Amino acid sequence: MAQTRKKKQRRVRKRRIQRGGNPSIPIFIISWNQYTYLKDLVEQLLEYPKLQIYIIDNQSTYEPLVKYLNEIDSRVKVLRQDVNHGHKVYEMEHILKFIDELGVTKYIVTDPDLKLNSKMPRDFIDRLSKLSDKYKKNKVGLALDITRNIDLTRKLDDTNQSFADNERQYWLKPIENTEGYELYDAPIDTTFALINKSYRIIGGLHNSIRVAGDFTCVHRPWLIDFKDELIPGEHEFYIGNGNKSTTLNRWRIT
């Protein structure tokens, strides 16, 4: 009897680990010629149980990345694009149709150049999902750290602000709550944002929340030593092949 009970307990624990508290909400990573960032983010996500990971690749030509996409295709799904549609590819009709065919009302979009917080709860997707329902938000995503090792010399072209100066505006409207979260009323684009199709942008205004605290992540290109994390020649290839669909025209990342 005791042995049977222990086996049953092990099966229950195994199911809990496999579920990890995360519902079947697919994650779409937008990819274009950023090998190191994409590889690292995928490895971080694979540490969480049973996540559905899709890579939307905008016709990358960087050879190490092309090779990696071929190798990783057995573990995640790669949606290869015929052209570079830019970072808004997730809003294109054929991608939205693909998401609709998955039969989900919630999904996550993100850029690859993020380092997730090691303190983030294992059931973080479930938590983001519940926050979107509680506050009836179209987007709930991760806040960006502006306190550590950020390069203050590089500027935003159209305002001449540093990364941190520009980002501070998204930390000005805290949302009081009783669950212990650090929440901010702020727009969010593709910084690991959960999109809830049940709620739409109202009157052209954002309808989103940024989650800070243990959910705060690092935008790696903002770091002082960001080039040291890349393989030789990777950044130069990315810069040399930049076009209007990238953020390179706004940020002076050289």
The H-or-E segment that residue 208 falls in is strand 208-211
Whether 83 is covered by a domain: the verdict is yes
Residue 117 lies in a domain: yes
Whole-number pLDDT of residue 92: 96
Residue at 161 is within a domain: yes
pLDDT band at 3 (very low <50, low <70, confident <90, very high): very low
The better pLDDT of the pair 155, 32 is held by: 32
> Amino acid identity of 183?
L
Is the separation of the CB atoms in 69 and 55 below 8 Å? yes
- Does 253 have pLDDT greater than 50? no
Burial class (CB in 10 A: 0-12, 13-18, 19+), 247: middle
Higher pLDDT, 61 or 3: 61
241-249 contacts, C-beta under 8 A, 24 or more apart: 241/33, 241/61, 241/62, 243/84, 244/86, 245/58, 245/84, 245/85, 245/86, 245/87, 245/88, 246/32, 246/86, 246/87, 247/87, 249/157
Is residue 2 situated within a structural domain? no
CATH of the domain at 130: 3.90.550
Cα–Cα distance for residue pair 42/76, rounded to 1 Å: 9
Q: What is the mean pLDDT of the chain?
A: 86
pLDDT of residue 77: 96
Indicate if the pLDDT at residue 149 is higher than 90: no
At residue 109, the 3 state secondary structure works out as strand
Determine, yes or no, domain membership for 162. yes
**pLDDT above 50: residue 215:** yes
Tally of structural domains, the chain:
1
Residue 17's pLDDT is 37
Residue 59 lies in a domain: yes
At 21 the pLDDT is 52
pLDDT tens figures, 42-99:
999 999 878 999 999 999 999 999 999 999 988 899 999 999 999 999 999 999 999 9
Its domain, for residue 149, covers 10-249
Taking residues 15-27, report their average pLDDT.
Answer: 62
Q: Which DSSP letter does residue 231 get?
A: P
Residue 200, pLDDT score? 81
CA atoms within 13 A on the CB side of 4: 1
Question: What local confidence, expressed as pLDDT, does residue 14 receive?
Answer: 40
Does residue 1 lie in a domain region?
no
pTM: 0.85
Is residue 5 a part of any domain in this protein?
A: no
CA 194 to chain centre: 9
Residue 248 has pLDDT above 60, yes or no: no
Spell out the alpha helix ranges (H) of 47-119. 63-72, 93-102
